[in-house]
């Protein structure tokens, strides 16, 4: 009698009972090949245990004990949409819901106060709009085809739940600014911004910054996105239409 | 289930939840993030925990769902940020060529999510096929074939075929 590998696997996992179990045991006694395959299934289980059981003996992290006891103080535990990830070398002060007042902040100041025509951000009736190089890149640059050393790197382009086109970007000059802007009424309105405290980003770090979205931006992306990001063709088509739909 | 009772049981489950999460997400920090997220979700929906059903099964399901959510989010980011994702893997065993020897953790990490979950639930957590199928919300036959394919792939990668 021959057995499928699934049957032998089920036997090794203790999932067979009564007659099927007895039949496999008889085959094991008679056929070394059957015995070998079952031993192999058992050996894999034991290798997995050897690899992962040490986790059981690790001291429990305080934050998990607190979470299990329900004593963790989270601002909104239900709204966590992505894993919290500690930035390696970057520290990103972040702002959602932009207010004009923060434009006076020391961090954003340098992006606003520039020679006329060179500011990356401007305010308009309480909203923050992209300007200059940033606005140009948002309107014209394709993520699928952009120079690696461009001052603005476009990340994800997508349609928001409200139907607007939105794009994430990283802007690097003396410091690094990451954000998400949506096309509304012919302008790129900033939905969220995160600034790196690191003043001069080295080439390698710049790359990391450009490709890893700061949590604030990733969070806003998750919140706004309807469906999937645009692929290269859809991105090019949206640009052709002037980011209108 | 009353509050203090539930909290005590969750604390008792922590080591296994961490082991399960570690099998899903190789990185220890990511794994603990998953457990924390699952604990928060569980306490939010504590009313859904059934006193007559094992809490473990319910919690494993929440950890796995949190992991699937994370994979989807990563997938969205990866489609545009592909270079960064591949940069993460520089120096990975995949570059060492034909004579590659993978650790058990690496090998498990290469399985598709469905097979990885099946292997973790049955072979590491020791759940029955029925319990694992219930957690993954699939028929037993589906669970069995995922487990069989996962096993076969692992044995090949680990040089036991």
Q: Does A17 touch chain B (CB under 8 A)?
A: no
Model confidence pLDDT, tens digit, residues A27-71: 999 999 999 999 999 999 999 999 999 999 999 998 999 999 887
Model confidence pLDDT, tens digit, residues B44-60: 887 777 666 678 889 99
Query: SS3 for A159?
Result: strand
- Among A52, A87, A142, A230, pick the best mutation site for testing chain B contact (most B Cβ within 10 A): A52
List the single residue in A56, A82, A84 with the smallest CB-CB distance to B15. Answer: A56
Residue in B with minimal Cα distance to A222: B73
Cβ–Cβ < 8 Å for B3, A70: yes
Model confidence pLDDT, tens digit, residues B123-143: 999 999 999 999 999 999 999
Q: Provide, as residue numbers in chain B, all residues whose Cβ is less than 8 Å from the Cβ of A82.
A: 70, 73
Other CB atoms within a 10 A radius of the CB of residue B156 amount to: 11
Q: Do A43 and B84 touch (CB under 8 A)?
A: no
Considering the entire predicted model, what is its pTM? Answer: 0.56
Alpha carbons within 13 angstroms on the beta-carbon side of residue B64 total 22
Q: Do A9 and B151 touch (CB under 8 A)?
A: yes
Q: Do B77 and A56 touch (CB under 8 A)?
A: no
Within 8 A by CB and 6+ apart from A185, the residues are none
Q: How far apart are CA B11 and CA B6, in angstroms?
A: 9
Cβ–Cβ < 8 Å for A82, A218: yes
Overall average pLDDT of the B73-96 stretch = 49
Q: A18 exposed, middle or buried (CB, 10 Å; 0-12, 13-18, 19+)?
A: exposed
Other CB atoms within a 10 A radius of the CB of residue B130 amount to: 11
The backbone torsions φ and ψ at residue A225, rounded to the nearest 5 degrees and listed phi first, read: -65, 135
Q: Do B40 and A78 touch (CB under 8 A)?
A: yes
Q: Tell me which H or E stretch contains A188.
A: strand A187-195
List the single residue in B3, B83, B124 with the smallest CB-CB distance to A211. Answer: B83
Q: State yes or no: pLDDT of A128 exceeds 50.
A: yes
Positive/negative CA dihedral, B37, B39, B41, B43: negative
Q: Does A51 touch chain B (CB under 8 A)?
A: yes
Task: Please give, rounded to a whole number of angstroms, the shortest distance from the CA of B61 to a CA of chain A.
Answer: 16
- Output the average pLDDT for chain A: 75
């Amino acid at each position: 009698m021959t057995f499928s590998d699934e049957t032998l696997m089920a036997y090794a996992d203790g999932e067979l009972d009564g007659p099927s179990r007895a039949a496999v045991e008889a085959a094991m006694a008679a056929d070394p090949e059957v015995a070998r395959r079952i031993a192999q299934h058992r050996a894999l289980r034991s290798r997995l245990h050897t690899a992962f059981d040490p986790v059981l003996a690790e001291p429990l992290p305080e934050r998990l004990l607190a979470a299990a006891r329900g004593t963790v103080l989270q601002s909104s535990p239900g709204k966590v949409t992505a894993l919290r990830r500690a930035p390696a070398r970057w520290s990103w002060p972040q702002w959602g819901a932009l207010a004009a007042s923060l434009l006076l902040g020391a961090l954003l100041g340098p992006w606003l106060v520039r020679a006329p025509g060179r500011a990356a951000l401007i305010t308009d009736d309480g909203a923050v709009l992209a300007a200059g190089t940033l606005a140009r890149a948002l309107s014209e640059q394709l993520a699928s085809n952009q120079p690696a050393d461009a001052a603005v790197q476009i990340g994800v382009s997508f349609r928001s739940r409200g139907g607007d086109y939105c794009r994430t970007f990283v802007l690097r000059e003396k410091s690094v600014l990451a954000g998400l802007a949506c096309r509304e009424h012919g302008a790129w309105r900033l939905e969220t911004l995160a600034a790196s405290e690191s003043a001069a980003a080295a080439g390698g770090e710049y790359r990391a910054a450009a490709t890893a979205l700061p949590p604030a931006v990733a969070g806003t992306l998750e919140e706004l996105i309807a469906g999937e990001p645009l692929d290269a063709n859809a991105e090019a088509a949206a640009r052709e239409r002037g980011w209108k739909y | 289930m009353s509050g203090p009772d539930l909290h005590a049981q969750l604390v008792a489950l922590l080591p296994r939840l961490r082991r399960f999460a570690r099998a899903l997400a190789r990185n220890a920090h990511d794994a603990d993030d998953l457990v924390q997220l699952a604990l928060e979700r569980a306490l939010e929906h504590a009313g859904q925990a059934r006193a007559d059903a094992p809490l473990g099964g319910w919690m494993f399901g929440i950890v796995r769902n949190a992991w699937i959510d994370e994979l989807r989010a990563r997938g969205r980011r990866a489609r545009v940020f592909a270079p960064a994702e591949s940069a993460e893997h520089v120096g990975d065993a995949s570059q060492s060529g034909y004579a590659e020897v993978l650790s058990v953790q690496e090998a498990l990490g290469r399985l598709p999510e469905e097979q990885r979950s099946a292997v973790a639930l049955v072979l590491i957590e020791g759940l029955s096929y029925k319990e694992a199928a219930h957690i993954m919300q699939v028929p037993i036959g589906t669970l069995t074939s995922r487990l069989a394919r996962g096993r076969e792939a692992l044995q090949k990668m680990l040089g036991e075929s």
